[in-house]
Amino acid sequence: MKNPLELTVNLEVFQLPSGNTATTTEVTKQVGVAEDALLEVTVFRCNGGFISVISPANRRLNLRAVMHELENSWVTYPNDEEWGELGAIDRNNPFGIASDPRVTTFVDALVLKQKEVAFRAMGNRVIKVAMNGLVIGTRAKLLGGISLPKRFE
């Protein structure tokens, strides 16, 4: 008899007020994480299927570096039909996106400095999780140098 492998990830869910337009700084203070620990998920369609990139919300993706690291000839944002292929998932939730076997998940190496991370989810929620829970739960692969400061200097 086979015993299924069960994975448990401890999450803490914070409910933000309805219609909340809090900034990254305000959300991180409410949740109790560093500014680089509030994450966002960007999903791309590429010649190998779908990829999701988890990076700090207070930084911007360096798309050229992402394409170089992945050795992809092209990436684009999925259209509504392509999103439909993934089903009804929360596009901001890295666990939901990673549950689809057609999606390969990558995490910015900068994020690994954090002990706890958080991300915004549907319904004005913020989910906080230990860093190791995020990496294990999403089966994320590491990419370095893929995010840049939001401000051009």
How much is the average pLDDT of 11-20?
A: 83
> Does the pLDDT at position 4 exceed 70?
no
Question: What are the boundaries of each domain within the chain?
Answer: 11-18+33-147
Closest CA to 115 of 56, 58, 40, 33: 33
Q: What is the pLDDT of residues 85-142, one digit of tens each?
A: 877 677 777 777 777 788 888 888 888 889 999 998 887 889 999 888 888 777 888 8
The confidence score (pLDDT) of residue 8 equals 65
CATH of the domain spanning 11-18+33-147, picked from 3.40.50.300, 3.40.50.2300, 3.90.960.10, 1.10.10.10:
3.90.960.10
pTM exceeding the 0.85 threshold for the entire prediction: no
Q: How far apart are CA 146 and CA 138, in angstroms?
A: 18
Pairing of strands 103-108, 49-56: parallel
Confidence of residue 152 (pLDDT cuts 50, 70, 90): low
The confidence score (pLDDT) of residue 49 equals 83
What is the overall mean pLDDT for the chain? Answer: 82
The confidence score (pLDDT) of residue 31 equals 92
Long-range (24+ apart) CB contacts under 8 A made by 4-7 are 7/136, 7/137
Q: What is the pLDDT of residues 32-89, one digit of tens each?
A: 999 999 998 888 888 778 888 889 988 888 888 888 777 767 788 888 888 888 776 7
The confidence score (pLDDT) of residue 5 equals 58
The confidence score (pLDDT) of residue 45 equals 87
